[in-house]
Structure 1
Amino acid sequence: MSQPPPTTTSEQPRPIAAAGAPETGKPSSGGRDHFFDNAKYLAIVLVAIGHAWEPLPPGRLVEASYTFIYTFHMPVFILIAGYFSRNFELRPDRVWKLVTSLLVPYVLFEVAYTLFERATDRPDYSLSLLSPYWLLWFLPALFFWRLSTPVWQAVRFPVLVSLALAALATLSPAADGSLQVQRMLQFLPFYVLGLRLRPEHFQLVRSTWVRVVSVPLFAVGMLVAYWLVPRTSTSWFFRKSSTDRLDTAQWTGPTATVLLFVAALVLGACFLAWVPKGRSWMTVLGTCTLYGYLLHGFVVRGLEYGGLYDDPFFDTTLGTVAVTLSAIAVITLLCTPPVRRLLRPVLEPRMAWARQKPPAAGAS
């Protein structure tokens, strides 16, 4: 498989990714459903593995595995984000929290990654807040998805409407531009679906029969991914490009959107069926996934730019296993509470000094 020059505004059509960043969470309490924290931790592990696989030498099995997990891991994250946004209201305090928890970290990390690129690989790398760096696209996307919540709570058939918008977006080259609007629209149906889900839906997914059925479904999904690797571009799974950019017939865009939506729902349900329900060692890590998501890019790109992946060892099966285990270890470390305590002022700033005071009662 061919690999284009590295870019920071989009993934390469082979092991990379992320699309997605999980959101922060508060420490577990008696009323918190640990299932979702566990799910977020396991999903961020898949994100880290995908990114760590990106610089590996081309290999059909690695790319098939990469394609397989990219089918559903970001949709799972986004669906959970939508589920916990069901009660979002356009109140000043809620909007301000969006600004401090999403937009402020986005700006700070755009600057940080720009300086990182200049110091390690590209001295002339330019800063552009309208062109999110590699994995940072998720922050402005989640910001705009949440702002749109009242619309999806008011419109009829919101999932179908959002899916239609996603399908139509594939026909619009204009959506490939600033802020990765194409990706925002193509992933939008998963957020909207999350808004429509209720606790009983997740109870159904966690039932024994779904867990049993998930095993053959996962096997079939992996076989399909293996079959697809030499026959289609993995760029489809990033959901970031129009048919014009992919140089394909227009009908393939809407078709791929619907097929990927269905595949993501099926495989996502299979994934969630195996997520532990109770509190475990991974639960607290699941409350800090945003930290791991934003920070692990420095590690992956640093090792890539440092030439580590050029060693012939990483062209072997054992090398791939070593990269996978290392990715799990690194992302787990970056999701620990000490990291959160250290960087909380940056990723969860309150910024009360910058917030406009509400008007006094009775003021005209």
Structure 2
Amino acid sequence: MSAAPDEPAPRRTVDELRSLRRLVARLSQGVIEVDRDLLIRSVNPSAVRLCRGARLGLGEPLPEPWAAFSLREYARRLFSGPPTRAAELRVQAGGGGSGGISVWGLPPGGTDRAVLVIEERGGGRREAAEREFVTNAAHELRNPLTAITVSVEALKAGAKDDPEARERFLDHIDRECGRLARLTEALLTLARLDTGEQEPRLDVVELQPLLERVAARVTTRPGVALEVSCARDVVVVANSMLLEHALGNLVENAARYTREGRIEIVVASAGSGTLVVEVSDTGPGLPAGDTDRLFQRFVRGRGLPAGEGFGLGLAIANQTVRAVGGTLALESRPGAGTTARVTLRSGKLVTG
């Protein structure tokens, strides 16, 4: 699915978005994207089926499919207040159905759109995995898509007439398109893992260049140093794409909450054929008891600034690390920063 390196950035963006739309169109859940005016911006076929004849045209107002529950009011609440948690509730299906449906939503975060997901009640593994994928995708894809949108708007506003500014914004779009491609591939792989359709392919991965790529993509606050300490010959047995995605999540999480000091990525041997990648920061730290619960979805650290993140990054990182056969643990104290430890199976690079 990844685009060729020399493919133009706008074309790469379009191709990746088309791939995502095809996937969402095949989901059994209904997916509706709405803007702040509660106008429909995208909708998949399952949403039309589950809303039982309600009008779901692009650009039209979000309808009220059920008399006992206001979908519009539920969507409106997603836009009001800090987006710290996606809510869920259940309404009874109409039309003589034997079961019910669930309605839940993901707040807009840094964008102007929220996502509504409608699904029939069921406890199957595949249904739960598909729902998990929708949540992951909506969360993870916001940042690159927002960055691309901002850059395009800057170009339209006049930056395109300044050669230096134009090149800067085009380079930014190109980097974010590459990130979008990697995210899409990682999320699709995780979806297949969850449904049992595919096991990750494990290879010998050189760790130092992977960590350098992760660090190069992360923007820290002014004055915050980001350092990588890893010998050039260190290798692990993992899936390169998934491991890069997981470590990128950990470093971006550290950068989000570290306002001064430093972030360090350090690799050390742990013995017994394993090694540890530590991502340490000098952020606010976490209260006692928060380190385990942060691996749950939509759970954020107590006392952290409102509106910073959805509480999904660590949950996704943990899922991804486990997918490549590793473990993830957190150590933190209030006021003393946080350290994320990823334990992996070490490998051996054979040359010649």
Q: Structure 2 length normalisation: TM-score?
A: 0.25
Q: Which has the higher contact order (CA 8 A, sep 6+)?
A: 1
Higher helix share: 1
Higher strand share: 2
Higher radius of gyration, 1 or 2: 2
